[in-house]
Amino acid sequence: MSDATQPIVAAQSATQPTVARRGRGARVRRAFRTYPVVSLTLLLIIVFGAIAAPWLAPYPATHGDLRARHAAPAIVGADSAHLLGADSVGRDVFSRLLYGAQVSLLVAAGTILIAGSLGTLLGLVSGWYGGWIDEAIMRLVDAMNAIPVVLLALVLAVALGPSFALLLGVLALGQWPAFARQVRAETLSLRRRDYVQLARVAGASTGRILGRHILPGVFSTVMVVATNQVGTVILAEAGLSFLGVGVPPPTPSLGGMIADGRLYITDAWWISAFPGIAIALIVLSLVFIGDWLRDRLDPTLRQLE
Amino acid sequence: MAELGTTDDVALRVAGSAADLDPIIQVRHLRKWYPVQQGFGFAPPSHLKAVDDVSFDVAPGRTFGIVGESGCGKTTILKLFLQLEAPTAGQIIFEGEDIARMTAAGRRRFRRSVQAVFQDPWASLNPRMRVADIVGEPLEIAGTMSRRQVRARVAEVLTEVGLNAYQANLYPHEFSGGQRQRIGIARALVLGPKVIALDEPVSALDVSIRAQILNLLVDLQKQRDLAYLMVSHDLATVRYMCHDMAVMYLGVVQEAGRVRAIFDKPMHLYTEALMSAALPAHPGLVRDEILLPGEVVSPIDPPAGDVFMTRTPLPVDPNNRWAKERPPLVEKEPDHWVVETPWSLTSSRSGSLSG
């Protein structure tokens, strides 16, 4: 083979990979381009850890061993029996992290599910029917923005006593307006589309139009809002737990753990740092997955991968 | 020819006037006024008169064209006919039945007999649905066919509009504009309708494929005896497609009748100006461009008299009856109707105008 032909061969193999080149490496690279592999893997690991907490956790989450108080994490080379260290009452941070992720993810998922369904429904109704219905729902959204959710949670917790259901309810109350607003805006633009008018011409009922044309159209927006709001929910839950109206104290939650560790941040950084890292990874993964989902759900973008 | 109303209450019988054809659509005194709030709400509410007392007939198997510049109310008429909006006053009668007072069964029959193709082939197909679902949707709604029958019918109708049956599995963005418009036509045809409302069906398309789509529409009309109610601002399209037409200005029909008669001898100055504004079929053709003075008047609270009064190049006598009240359409020649005022007719213009 002469030198002159070599670059051409190289260029060809770069644009159309030959059989020899299309090995496992190419498949893996393609997968990385197509799917958010890192985010999905991370989230799966965290979710798996949360679900399998009772089996994976080396120590109980709610009972401490005072002799292990502020034990340094073994992961940074300390001579310790605690992988991620222990907190101020000697509870294993790793075990609490697993249980905490369970609680936090449950709260986040529950909140997003409730707020997402309620917000989507109200946004859909608001955008589709318009008029006084729209006016009423949107004023409700405005009113929600004027209510400090934390204060409301405090008042309700004092009146009713803190509970899991109350936490979900209050968080959902704070989250649904974001969904309602976005879905309403999307519905307003979709209902004017020619294909919606043509569905009407074909005799489609309002239910059918909403279900077949509007809802699939707003679905990607809902998914993106949902993944972005998860972070807010986890943080809000942390704030409420810190104030004592979130997850009741002995039960670990990621936010509660950060709050617990804040007093000892200079002596025992690991108490707050690891749940903080966990929150950051969960939120970041969800944002990437949300972006990917939005592109996937749009058939016009599906082929541009 | 039968007069449908008193002179004050003029209705127009154009397309259905051929003795053996009962009109499939009769539009009578149709009005659509949109309330407009101006200022801070202290002023009495104004009205945007998009359609103001329009009447016409559409015969089965023929094409009725509505032309006029943008904002003259032609698309509003289609929307009213398709029941996408409710008229302020007047009736639309389909096969002898007032569509506003139809029973549930009548409404279903109407939805099955009337379909539409819109202007923008990019906006009129749901991007998230496959062609099979888009074209099959009217069948699915009608609910008379099994899933398999729907698939077969979709394949059949796709072939009829010049597409391939296998393309049913593709998404709209995988097609060109002309192909998308064919999909829209397939969807309109799938239930075997009697009327298709066409809202500028080719104006969004590349000039090179307009003729294909127009020919397809003409062929389908011949095969299936379809009636078209077409809206367009393109006179060449109207001339090619339509049998009868109405020229609208500011929500009011100015001239109506057989397409050939109107193109051969436009009676209204507005029609004449519209035709002169269209590009000639050959660049070498010499023609006089007729420009009307003034701007298009806002359709919000138009004059009580003739709407054309403010645009005519001829002098207007403010004491004339038609400067104060709306002039009727008059049948000047058989099947050729025009708004007759001292300032609206081409025949009342002296030859010196062009100077």
Task: Supply the mean pLDDT for chain B.
Answer: 84
Asked whether residue A7 carries a pLDDT value surpassing 70, the answer given is: no
pLDDT per residue over A82-94, tens digit each? 778 788 787 888 8
Residue A165 clears pLDDT 80, i.e. is over it: yes
For residue B198, give the chain A residue with the closest CA.
A198
Nearest-neighbour CA in chain B from A138: distance (Å): 22
For residue A101, pLDDT over 90 is answered with no
- Is the CB of residue B277 less than 8 Å away from at least one CB of chain A? no
Q: Tell me which residue in A197, A212, A299 faces B127 most closely, judged by beta carbons.
A: A299
Chain B residues within an 8 Å CB radius of A193: 123, 126
Task: Tell me the chain A residues in contact with residue B134 when contact means C-beta distances shorter than 8 Å.
Answer: 195
Please tell me if residue A304 touches chain B, with a CB cutoff of 8 Å.
no
Confidence of residue A12 (pLDDT cuts 50, 70, 90): very low
Q: Are A89 and A257 in contact (CB under 8 A)?
A: no
Which ipTM score applies to this complex? Answer: 0.84
The Cα of B9 is separated from the nearest Cα of chain A by a number of Å equal to 31
Dig out the tokens for A28 from the structure: 């893996």
> pLDDT by residue (tens digit) across A127-143?
999 889 999 999 999 99
Structure confidence at residue B5 as a pLDDT band (50, 70, 90): very low
Q: Report the distance separating Cα A215 and Cα A208, nearest Å.
A: 10
Of residues B64 and A227, more confidence is placed in B64
Q: How far, CA to CA in Å, does B350 sit from each of A49, A187, B276, B318, B321?
A: 93, 56, 18, 20, 22
pLDDT over 60 at B57, yes or no: yes
Q: Residues A240-270: pLDDT tens digits?
A: 877 777 777 778 888 888 888 888 888 888 8
DSSP B72: S
CB atoms within 10 A of CB A216: 15
Domains with residue ranges and CATH for chain A: 37-304 (1.10.3720.10)
Which residues, in sequence order, are CB contacts of B44 under 8 Å at separation 6+?
A: none
Q: Check residue B180 and give its pLDDT.
A: 93
Distance from CA of A131 to the nearest CA of B (A): 15
Going by DSSP bridges, is the β-strand pair B63-67/B336-339 parallel, antiparallel, or unpaired? Answer: unpaired
Q: How far is A210 from chain B (nearest CA, A)?
A: 13
For B116, the closest of A198, A204, A208 (CB atoms) is A198
Span B129-158, average pLDDT: 92
Comparison of pLDDT for A293 and A281, the residue scoring more: A281
- Check if B125 contacts A (Cβ < 8 Å): yes
In contact, B326 and B306? CB cutoff 8 Å: yes
Answer yes or no: is pLDDT of B323 > 90: no
Indicate yes or no: CB of A193 within 8 angstroms of CB of B123: yes
Q: In the prediction, which pLDDT does B17 show?
A: 45
* Average of per-residue pLDDT across B210-232: 92
